[in-house]
Amino acid sequence: METLFNQGSNLAGAVDRAFIFIFAISFIFTIGITVLMIYILIHFSRKKNKNPQQFSHNTRLEVIWTVVPLIIVLVMFYYGWVGFAPMRQVPKDAMPITVIGKMWTWDFDYGNGKISKELVVPYNRNVKLNLVSVDVNHSLFIPAFRVKEDVIPGYNNYLWFKPIMKGTFDIYCSEYCGLAHSAMLAKAVVVDSLDFDKWLADLQVTGNLPDHPGLVVMQANTCLTCHTLDGTKVIGPTFKGLYGRKTTVVTESGEKEVEANDDYIIRSIEDPNSEVVKGYNRGLMQPYKDKISQEDLQKIVDYFKTNAAK
Ligand code: CUA
C-alpha cells in the first residue's frame, strides 16, 4: 500500500492534485445526486400530488446546470494539463536509460553493454527512459513516480522523471501482454548519486560492447534490440554476415533479390518498409530518414563492411 501514497518523483504532486480534485467532485456529485433523487421520490410522489402538473422551461435552472459543470470540467482540464505537459518535456540534462520490454520481463540498458534487471536511478537527477518493445504492446508503470507509458514495437516512446525519494518502488506492466503479464514485474531503486556511480561501474557487461563508431550509433538508436549480431532471429533479420549477403525482399510490386551493399543498407534504415526481407513483418520498424545523419549512416555502413566476416 505504501507506494500508493509515496510521491516518489517530481511529477507525482501534480498527478495527485488532478486525481484528488476529480475524486472530490465525483464524491460530492454522487452524494448530491443521491440525496436529490430521494427527495424527489418523496416530495413528488403520487400520494402528495394527486393531480399531475405540466411544466416546461426553467431558464435559470438550465443556465446553472450548463455553466457550473462547464466550469468544473474546465478546472479538471486545467489540473490535468499542468500535470501532463511537463511529462512530455524532457529536460536536456536527463540521463538516458533504454527500457526493453519483452514477454515477460524488463531489461534496463545503461549503454556500453551494461544491462540490469533492476531500474537503479540516482536520487534527485533527471532520468529519461526510452521505451522499446521487442514483441507486443507493454506498458511501463511506476506508481510511486506517477508515470505510465505504453511500450510499443516500432514506436519510440519515452518518459522522464526526477526521483525525489530514496527507496525501492514497484514497476508493473500495465498492458495485457499474454500469459505471464501479471508476473512482468521489476523494481525501481533510488540511491544516492555516489552509490549510483559505484553500482553502474560494478554492473557486469552482458550486452554488446561498442567497439566501433557504427555500433555506438546503432546502440543509441536501439537497433540491436530487434537485430542481433550473433545470428539469432528476433524481430528483424540478424546483422551477422550482413554485408554482401544476397537476400530476397518483398516490395509493393513483388519479390526481388538484392545484395546488401552500401545503398541497400542506407535504404533499409531510411525507408525500411519499402523492401522487407522475406519472412519478416512490414511496419515494425520506423523510417529513420532525417533521424540519423549521413555521417552516422556511413559509420553504420563501415561497421558492416569491416565486420562482414563476423
Ligand atoms: Cu508486458 Cu503486460
Q: What is the pLDDT of residues 124-143, one digit of tens each?
A: 999 999 999 888 899 999 99
The answer, yes or no, to whether any atom of ligand 1 lies below 6 A from the CB of 285, is no
Mean pLDDT of 200-212: 80
Q: How far is the CA of 128 from the centre of ligand 1 (A)?
A: 20
* Multiple choice CATH, 213-306, 3.30.70.920, 3.30.450.20, 3.50.30.10, 1.10.760.10: 1.10.760.10
For the CA of 174, the closest atom of ligand 1 is 2
Q: How far is the CA of 36 from the centre of ligand 1 (A)?
A: 44
For residue 302, the one-letter residue type is D
Q: Whole-angstrom Cα distance, residue 17 to residue 225?
A: 38
**Pair 125, 162: CB distance under 8 Å:** yes
Query: Between the CA of residue 131 and those of 59, 113, 225, what are the distances in Å?
Result: 53, 17, 11
pLDDT of residue 1: 38
* CB atoms inside a 10 Å sphere around CB 4: 8
Strands 119-122 and 186-191: parallel
Residue nearest to atom 1 of ligand 1 (CA): 138
pLDDT digits 0-9 by tens, 138-176:
999 999 999 999 999 878 899 999 999 999 999 999 999
Which triple of cell numbers denotes residue 189? Answer: 531503486
pLDDT of residue 4: 58
Burial 293-310 (b: 16+ CB within 10 A, else e): eeebbebbbebbeebeee
The larger pLDDT score, comparing residue 160 to residue 218, is at: 160
Mean pLDDT of 99-115: 90
Q: What is the CATH code for 95-202?
A: 2.60.40.420
* Multiple choice CATH, 12-88, 3.30.420, 1.10.3470, 1.20.58, 1.10.287: 1.10.287
Q: Name residue, grid cell 514485474.
A: 185
Q: Whole-angstrom Cα distance, residue 113 to residue 224?
A: 11
For the CA of 137, the closest atom of ligand 1 is 1
Instruction: Judge whether residue 224 has pLDDT over 90.
Output: no
Q: How far is the CA of 258 from the centre of ligand 1 (A)?
A: 37
The answer, yes or no, to whether any atom of ligand 1 lies below 6 A from the CB of 136, is no
**Pair 140, 106: CB distance under 8 Å:** yes
**Pair 257, 248: CB distance under 8 Å:** yes
